[in-house]
Amino acid sequence: MTFASSSSRYEAMPYVRCGRSGLKLPGISLGLWQNFGDVNSYATGREVVLRAFDLGITHFDLANNYGPPPGSAERNFGRMLREDLRAYRDELVVSTKAGYVMWPGPYGDWGSRKSLLNSLDQSLERLGLEAVDIFYSHRFDPETPLEETMGALDTAVRSGKALYAGISNYPAEQTRRAAAILKQLGTPCLIHQARYNLLDRWIEEGLTDVIAEEGVGCIVFQPLAQGQLTARYLQGIPADSRATREWFLKTAQIHQNLPKVRALNAIAERRGQSLAEMALAWVLRQPVVTSALIGASSTAQLEQNLKALNRLEFAPEELARIEEALSAQ
């Protein structure tokens, strides 16, 4: 049956200006790194994406290598675009990236012009699109001149294959240089995509200042620390959870963080929120943060996470209690 989106889809979601650009992003965006590959159920992935759009999530984040297998998340999302979301294409912000290993040999990885632009062509083919909205350099490449990597992003935009350029995982100093080069080329850096959550606060040590000064937007990924900042692992490791795959999320890491997570959970309960909701509200309290980029393996998770938007403010005592919880061993 043809998908018809809810007419109330723009009623609850806040849309936040991305840095000093003209583009607004939803307060919460959905990423397709895991749960949307060929190893996952297409029907469930589709249900999550369509529900997300119905709830006001207009931004969907991909990369060349998302799956597994690599490329399958883009192919699956391309099918949703074709079969369900075609009429809504201009209501969506679709992003993709290149910079991690994608194909064999010296050109399928890192940040050369060759790698980025060939990868973008491949992504467009898998997605069935003529252009993505945002094209990212997925990581800083210390062996390629930054001028070359940024030049490739500029070409992507000028050739009409991307509307905006972004960078991801760049340290503070390289972010400043990248923003300056892009500005000079006339294609301003729209956005920085960086990991940020209660258990990983590296962006507070310099990057947020650069982002604010340069007027770049900031979308933070893994705000739930891959599920650790939810109730998912409070009673052990569920059989259907990401941790059982021991891929990027290790059970040892979960056990190590558990005392902090339990202490945080108690604070969330006192606030009348789930831990996931509090963890999302906490990243969104950062003034530079435009959007929190979550993953979800079910519509129930997605719906719970969106409730974070109902209670974003923190009292100073709550923030102090959170700092205390984070020092728990």
Asked if 96 touches ligand NDP (CB under 6 A), the answer is no
Of 299, 294, 290, 296, nearest to 223 by C-alpha is: 294
Asked if 293 touches ligand NDP (CB under 6 A), the answer is yes
Give the nearest distance from C-beta 225 to ligand NDP in angstroms.
5
Of 78, 54, 50, 55, nearest to 66 by C-alpha is: 78
302 and 274 Cβ atoms separated by less than 8 Å: no
Give the nearest distance from C-beta 24 to ligand NDP in angstroms.
19
Asked if 137 touches ligand NDP (CB under 6 A), the answer is no
**Measured CA distances, 189 to 74, 286, 311 (Å):** 23, 20, 31
Chosen residue from 242, 257, 268, 284 binding ligand NDP by CB under 6 A: 242
Asked if 220 touches ligand NDP (CB under 6 A), the answer is no
Asked if 127 touches ligand NDP (CB under 6 A), the answer is no
Chosen residue from 199, 227, 273, 290 binding ligand NDP by CB under 6 A: 227
Q: Give the interface size with ligand NDP as a residue count (CB under 6 A).
A: 31
Write the interaction track for ligand NDP spanning residues 246-285; mark x where CB under 6 A is met and - where it is not.
------------------------------x---------
Q: Residue 171 in 3-state DSSP?
A: coil
Give the nearest distance from C-beta 96 to ligand NDP in angstroms.
10
Say how far apart CA 150 and CA 316 lie, in whole Å: 41
189 and 182 Cβ atoms separated by less than 8 Å: yes
Asked if 55 touches ligand NDP (CB under 6 A), the answer is no
Distance in angstroms between the alpha carbons of the first and the last residue of the chain: 52
Give the nearest distance from C-beta 327 to ligand NDP in angstroms.
22
Say how far apart CA 244 and CA 260 lie, in whole Å: 21
Give the tokens for residue 123: 């992504």
Residue with tokens 């969506």: 92
Query: Which range of residues in 27-35, 78-86, 155-163, 314-322 is near ligand NDP by CB under 6 A?
Result: 27-35
Q: Residue 218 in 3-state DSSP?
A: strand
Q: Residue 97 in 3-state DSSP?
A: strand
Query: Which range of residues in 9-17, 158-166, 205-213, 223-231 is near ligand NDP by CB under 6 A?
Result: 223-231
Q: Which residues lie near ligand NDP (CB under 6 A)?
A: 31-35, 61, 138, 168-169, 193, 221-227, 230-232, 241-242, 276, 293-297, 301, 304-305
